[in-house]
Amino acid sequence: MRVTWRRTSILAFALVGCAALFLLATVFRLYQPANTFPYLTKEHLETVQLSHARAGGDLPQVLFIGNSALVRHDVPSLVVQAAERSGRSISASIAAANGVRLVQVARIPGLKQLLSDVEWDAVVLQEFSRTALSPMDAWVSRRTIRNLAALADGAEIIVMPHWPSAANHPVYEGELGWLEATPASPEDWLARNRRLFGVLSEDMGAALVPTEDAIKSVSQNGSSFYADDLHHANADGAKAVADVIWFTLAPLLDQR
């Protein structure tokens, strides 16, 4: 009886230790200082805020916050071009850096000030690609997106999940390690994104960018969506993403 109790105690301590280690590793990953290159530097954020303070006219003001999914091929500029092709004009600004999560971006003082001091018509919040693969990351992301939306009081909020990596990407072979679940396929990854960001955007009354539609549109034309790294979008893919963003954004601006 005493031996059984001792084994049970050892097992309980081991489980608690593993849980604590998992929590610490997750917190360290999520809360390490954010990369600020190229569009989250203090100088860039101050320039964006100053330009809006001086700006006049009636153009809708849209802010894009995220990471390399926006930085590569300058997706905000592509959205401006998509608007122009439909006979509309908008002003787009970017606050993004390579490899960052929204929880890291949210701790940058200049970003908070930019959100609260400028009267944005719409704010696009683009989250890190693997967020839906970790329950802890997903929980932190929900809180962060709500907090950023609150800072941009009065703006239309658009939640933009990252698209899944290509089917032949090594991520599906278990390269992520023990902190994140290995998706079985791009469809499985997409389903996880929908459960997280679809439910969240609906609860918030926010719009959701269906980034998977961009992949479909490029594939239907017989082209490849992905860059050579099988994760980011190539030029055609980025243009398709911008079109999908504009398709989501346009009706929201019409309501204002």
- Residue 121's pLDDT is what? 96
Question: 174 by DSSP, 3-state: which?
Answer: coil
Strands in 91-96's sheet, in edge-to-edge order, are 91-96, 61-66, 122-126, 156-160, 207-208
The two three-digit tokens of residue 169, written as one number: 């990407």
Beta bridge partners of 158: 124, 207
Architecture of domain 35-254: 3-Layer(aba) Sandwich (3.40)
CA distance 5 to 114: 58
Contacts of 164 (CB under 8 A, 6+ apart): 183, 186, 187, 189, 190, 193, 212
Local structure of 87: helix, strand or coil: coil
Could you state, in order of their start, the residue ranges of all structural domains in the chain? 1-32, 35-254
Structure-token pair, residue 242:
């911008």
Please state, in angstroms and rounded to a whole number, the distance separating the CA atoms of residues 156 and 138.
22
Q: At what angle do helices 75-85 and 235-254 cross, to 10 degrees?
A: 60
Look at residue 11 in the predicted model and tell me its pLDDT: 53
Q: Is the peptide bond before 38 cis (omega within 30 degrees of 0)?
A: yes
Residue with tokens 């994760």: 231
Low-confidence ranges of the chain (pLDDT < 50): 12, 14-26, 28
How far apart, in whole angstroms, are the C-alpha atoms of residue 67 and residue 138? Answer: 17
- Using DSSP's 3-state secondary structure scheme, residue 42 falls into helix
| Residue 55: per-residue pLDDT | 58
DSSP letter assigned to residue 164: P
Please state whether the predicted TM-score (pTM) of the whole model is above 0.85.
yes
As a whole number of angstroms, the distance between CA 231 and CA 162 comes to: 10
Please answer whether residues 190 and 129 qualify as being in contact, where contact means their C-beta atoms are separated by less than 8 angstroms: no
- Cα–Cα distance measured from residue 71 to residue 94, given in angstroms and rounded to the nearest whole number: 8
Q: What is the pLDDT of residue 35?
A: 87
pLDDT at 251: 97
